[in-house]
Amino acid sequence: MSVPHGPGSRDTAAMAGDFVGRADELASLARRIEAAADGTGSVVLLAGPAGIGKSTLAAEALRRHADPSGHTVVRGHCSRNEVAPPLWPWQRALRHAGVDPRLSAGQSVRTSFAPADAAEARFLELARMSEALTAAAAERPLFILLEDLHWADTASLDLLSQVARQGDNHGLLVLGTVREPVPDEAAGALTDLRRYGADTLRLTPFSKTEVAQCLGARAPGAMEAVEEAYRRTGGLPLLVATLRTYANENLGTVVSGLLAGLTAEQREVVRAAAVLGERLEPGLLAAVLPESDETVVAEALTAAWHAGFLTAAGTTADTGRAYLFAHDLVREEVLGRTAPAATRALHRAAAEALELEQASVGDPAEPARIAAHWQRAGREPAFRAAAARWSRTAAELARGQHAYDDAARHLAHAAAALTSADPDRAAVLVELARAEYLCGRYDACLRHCAEGATEAREAGRPELLADIALVLQGVSFPKASEAVIRLCRAALAVEDQPGAVRARLLAQLAAASADLGALDTAVEHARAAFALARSTGDPRAELDAARAVEMTLAHPNGTLERLRLGELTVTRAERLGDPLSAVMGHEWRVQAGYLLGRLDLVDQAVRGIGDIADRCGLPLARWHLLRVSAARAVLEGRFDAARQHNEDASELALASGDETAIAMNHVLRLQLALVRGDASELTEDIWPLLDRAPQLPLPLYQSVRGRALFLAGRLDEARETYARLRPMLPLPTVNPSWPAVLLHMVDLIALVGDAEGAQLVYDQLSTIRPYPGAVGAPTAYFSGTVSRDLGRLAAIAGRPAEAEELLREALRRNRALGARPDVALTCLDLATVLRDQGEHGARDALTEAAGLAGEALTTAGQLGQPGPAATAVRRLGEIAGLREETDPLTRREREIAEFVVRAHTNQEIAAHLFISERTVETHVSKILRKRGCANRTELVARWGADED
């Protein structure tokens, strides 16, 4: 622990210049500094209560181990009271390092976003700054000290999370100081930092030995004084230093004594400085205290510096020396000794002085700071209006950097500053609702929308109702949809709405109605919206209307229309420069192309998504390309490629923070587990998500959980899940997810042998049979033709002839799709139906069944489908057993042959059957001879075929 001996020491105990304690922490930081110098960066948080010595420890470590000739060391400070713009501590640090992150709002693609788009834009801004840091650290090791992260804005913490995730790839070391306990608003983000790889050094108070060192108590008998000092200070370094300098006093008494040592004029300057906070310069303080000229203020600051209130913070050409408070606890003590009326007057003076300075300088750091001073200046209407105005300016700057959390915070301050009688409050509430929406806080968004609508009507501003109704889009839960319907109807009741606005409102109304299951109403509004949008020629209205119409296409007979809507959306989105809407249009084309069995259309659409991803460089566009590629790879049996695409997409989703996108990782893994018959594809973190399903009303979640339980072998739980799903049949077909729910249920129906349930699901899924292709969604997965599932359901329902017809159809269709995993599964299903026929004397059926099972075994072995491979071996054994009378193999030879088919070595077979390896060799030779096979490979290929 450093104990500087000059006036103005900050954040620790001070005395004769020796550094006391912290040996382990210094050694740890020394290793981090050395590693960063060698190219391996990291993030370290120094945590502890105020006065524990966080800043001094960081400064001492950098002083000792960071070589100014070979390393760049810079500092950024997070402002309290939320008065700095987003990323301010980083920007100040990088400016000192000579790094240009090249951030500007103009570089974003759009300024009107859906939540996913907003997350994308924000991620892109942070990625640019992260790249700037990486580039700077690659040229020369870069050490950044970020002070007071507990006050950091959300964007700054998000950037720090990105740095923590990739810290070992470059020579960047970030040291951050964190005061504990951490405020609630920052606690979650700081916890995530540790999860992403940041380390925490939590500082503890001085030991008695260290207190003795700090106090210089080495003489015999001095330990009694040390014991008393330790008791009074608890070992807190700041208080130990205070006690060293001002014996028998606490910090409050010390501050009172220091103030008493100044003149009345100097005390007034110190009080103004405490109100102003941050960097203290004579010129600005003189503007806050117009009765004192700049020379007098400079002298007062110098006196406060020598008294120990302040620490020097550099010099400027215009104003001379600048200062900071020695510690925030000292500043708080000064503020606590200032009368409330005097404090309010100083806040007003500070706000007015900063406004004058802002008019000429235009510093992006100042709007929130000015707003904060006006908020504390009093409740007069003029002060409240000024606070709201500057808060909205701060929010606009935050939006320009895609820092939506910070924008929402500033707008909440603006709304709180205005009364309901102020006509501007309704507009502020609309902006606040939009910011909350972009942050993904939908309940808060709905509250502000409702409040804004009420105030817009009372303030005589009906034109705002349309803006309010269009805030919340693409969000599907009943409470939101009900609110959107009310807001849209209110906005549509306003006369003389422009055609494009009315079309967007009708589209919004249609989407909400579809979410609530009112499909007929949704279709009516969507068609009206589409016609009106086409008549206006407004591309944004056309996009909204096309999306609404697509949401109503819950039946397969809308496939051709989905294809047309996709083509229109791509065209309109290209006109608007909206790459993510274009991606959405291409994905509709992918979905339609697959269901139609038109792989040429699928190829065109996937290439279109790839071109957009390459051209615009947006990670979210790349995410969509990876998801479509993963879905295709699973369908075709390229499982390694599917896993890689899925992993890459998951990394992008984690970086964006989009929980829905993150969850798609599990959806694809579930499909991999299904087609491979391997429950190890399901990672452990899927179960906490699925265990929420019983509490959710949506059948999709229930069906996904039931299928996962089935694949994991938790059959009793799978049966229980089916019991909850069964009363829902026949399933309402107003939600586009209904085919997925029913397809998930097929395995469960087979598990329980529910013939009646099989018929109900068959009747609903049969509407998809006219479409020969794959069923699914581009960002999830595609499974083979529905004919296979219909065949399985027909078999369960007791109609074997129909099951055989459907499975033969499925085999042709899946071969045409190139869906090789589904080909293997269909072969097994058809082999089972034919095996059952063989049990009733159809010997030719047994021969074909054996050939199908053999094909399934070969395909499954080539693709890596252990579950279907094992089933094929069992099926072949069953078929061979049915043909036992004509089978040339003995029971023992057939048993050994099944081991050979499963690729077991002679040694493994011998160990399993408790016979000698020589005996196994003899049996294998006989098996090959009897079957007419030249080797084991030929036996595997022909196993089960009738050679007689």
Round to whole Å and give the CA distance between 899 and 750. Answer: 28
Q: Do residues 179 and 35 both lie within one domain?
A: yes
Q: Do residues 61 and 182 both lie within one domain?
A: yes
In the structure encoding, which two tokens stand for residue 166, read together? 């990739």
Is 330 or 878 the better-scoring residue by pLDDT?
878
Neighbours of 905 (CB within 10 A): 12
Is 50 or 336 the better-scoring residue by pLDDT?
336
Here the CATH number for the domain that contains residue 31 is 3.40.50.300
The answer to whether the CB of 777 falls within 8 A of the CB of 747 is no
Round to whole Å and give the CA distance between 55 and 344. Answer: 31
Please report which confidence band the pLDDT of residue 2 belongs to, taking 50, 70 and 90 as the band edges: very low
Q: Do residues 37 and 181 both lie within one domain?
A: yes
Q: Do residues 33 and 177 both lie within one domain?
A: yes
Q: Do residues 33 and 93 both lie within one domain?
A: yes
Please report which confidence band the pLDDT of residue 527 belongs to, taking 50, 70 and 90 as the band edges: very high
The answer to whether the CB of 786 falls within 8 A of the CB of 776 is no
Residue 582 inside a domain? The answer is: no
H or E element that contains 938: helix 936-942
Q: Do residues 45 and 100 both lie within one domain?
A: yes
Query: Where is the domain boundary, 297, 314, 338?
Result: 338
pLDDT of residue 944: 52
Query: Does 111 have pLDDT greater than 50?
Result: no
What are the tens digits of pLDDT across the range 39-96?
A: 888 888 888 877 788 888 888 888 888 887 778 888 888 877 666 677 888 887 777 7
Q: Do residues 191 and 55 both lie within one domain?
A: yes
- Of the ranges 431-440, 562-571, 689-698, which one carries the lowest mean pLDDT score? 689-698
pLDDT of residue 243: 67
The answer to whether the CB of 333 falls within 8 A of the CB of 270 is no
Residue 358 inside a domain? The answer is: no
Query: Does 363 have pLDDT greater than 90?
Result: no
Residue 81 inside a domain? The answer is: yes
pLDDT of residue 337: 82
Residue 776 inside a domain? The answer is: no
Residue 580 inside a domain? The answer is: no
In the structure encoding, which two tokens stand for residue 282, read together? 């004579």
Query: Where is the domain boundary, 303, 338, 373?
Result: 338
Residue 18 inside a domain? The answer is: no
Is 562 or 163 the better-scoring residue by pLDDT?
562
Round to whole Å and give the CA distance between 741 and 822. Answer: 19
Query: Does 938 have pLDDT greater than 90?
Result: no
What are the tens digits of pLDDT across the range 190-228?
A: 777 776 678 888 888 888 888 788 777 654 556 777 777
Is 252 or 468 the better-scoring residue by pLDDT?
468
What are the tens digits of pLDDT across the range 442-452?
A: 888 999 999 99
pLDDT of residue 202: 87
What are the tens digits of pLDDT across the range 630-656?
A: 999 999 999 999 999 999 988 877 765
Round to whole Å and give the CA distance between 258 and 241. Answer: 15
Cα 111 to the center of its chain, rounded Å: 20
User: Domain tally for the chain?
Assistant: 2
- Of the ranges 86-90, 108-112, 220-224, 817-821, which one carries the lowest mean pLDDT score? 108-112
pLDDT of residue 560: 96
Please report which confidence band the pLDDT of residue 7 belongs to, taking 50, 70 and 90 as the band edges: very low
Query: Does 316 have pLDDT greater than 60?
Result: no
What are the tens digits of pLDDT across the range 134-144?
A: 777 778 888 88
Residue 407 inside a domain? The answer is: no
Q: Do residues 67 and 173 both lie within one domain?
A: yes
Q: Do residues 30 and 167 both lie within one domain?
A: yes
Mean pLDDT score of the chain, rounded to an integer? 83
Domain that holds residue 99: 23-205
Query: Where is the domain boundary, 338, 358, 393?
Result: 338
| Residue 776: strand, helix, or coil | strand
Q: Do residues 253 and 201 both lie within one domain?
A: no
Given the structure tokens 């102003």, which residue do they identify?
276
Here the CATH number for the domain that contains residue 316 is 1.10.10.10
- Of the ranges 79-93, 470-484, 784-798, which one carries the lowest mean pLDDT score? 79-93
Q: Do residues 35 and 107 both lie within one domain?
A: yes
Average pLDDT of the residues in 331-359: 86
Average pLDDT of the residues in 763-789: 95
Q: Do residues 59 and 180 both lie within one domain?
A: yes
| Residue 476: strand, helix, or coil | coil
Residue 784 inside a domain? The answer is: no
The answer to whether the CB of 218 falls within 8 A of the CB of 189 is no
% of the chain exceeding 90 in pLDDT: 37
